[in-house]
Amino acid sequence: MKLKKFMCHQRPERSFKFSKYLVVCSRCTGVYLGAFVSTILLLLWFGPFNAISGLLLPLVFMTPMALDGLAQLVLGTESDNTRRFFTGYLAGASLAILFFSALSRVVNPHTAPILSFSASRIIVASIPAFFIIKKFENKSAPWLEFTLNFIVIKSLLGLGLASVYLLISLF
């Protein structure tokens, strides 16, 4: 099995296209970009997490993707790449929040003060990224294509290594 097929279904009609299609579909682009951007923001504003910010916020962020997928499955509706990107972005952000929430419990399990970042920063950070992607879609933009593919691959590796680290730390 190829690594690319492991990362995404790669349907061309569901992917952003520049000079060629991205490595992953628009939803997966959102997931990886959301995890990447959120990780950077959380590193800047990292603080202890409480139960609401560490568990409830990721559930809220994953809900739009779940509802979109459910609507496609049950109602037969077809979402567009814009909706796929934003729902994926929020789901990726939730993965980063879950990771940092678990990390804060491993590093200092006795603290549970308020989270020192604003969830709105993570959401607002997706808007410029999306408009850059849409501006260059169906145009030759090798720099953007390379950057997004690089972020996808690095995010996948980072999520995998972070998961291994957390599993080792818990035992």
In a domain, 93, yes or no: yes
On whether residue 41 sits in a domain, the answer given is: yes
For residue 71, pLDDT beyond 70: yes
Instruction: Flag whether 131 is in a domain.
Output: no
Q: CB burial class (10 A; 0-12, 13-18, 19+) of residue 79?
A: middle
Least confident of 31-45, 53-67, 116-130, 140-154: 116-130
Q: Does the residue 6 lie in any domain?
A: no
| Domain contains 59 | yes
Q: Spell out the alpha helix ranges (H) of 118-141.
A: 119-136
Q: Position of tokens 């409480």?
A: 50
Residue 118 belongs to what domain range?
Answer: 26-126+154-171
Residue 115 pLDDT > 60: no
Q: Residue 118 belongs to what H/E stretch?
A: none
- The answer to whether residue 138 is domain-embedded is no
Placement of tokens 């940092």 in the chain: 100
- In this model, does residue 1 exceed pLDDT 60? no
- Average pLDDT value for residue range 78-86: 87
Residue 105, pLDDT above cutoff 50: yes
What is the pTM (predicted TM-score) of this model?
Answer: 0.73
Tell me whether residue 61 is in a domain. yes
**Quick check: is 132 in a domain?**
no
pLDDT at 112 over 50: no
Number of compact structural domains in the chain: 1
Cβ proximity of 142 and 18 under 8 Å: yes
Q: What is the mean pLDDT of the chain?
A: 75
* pLDDT tier at 116, thresholds 50, 70, 90: very low
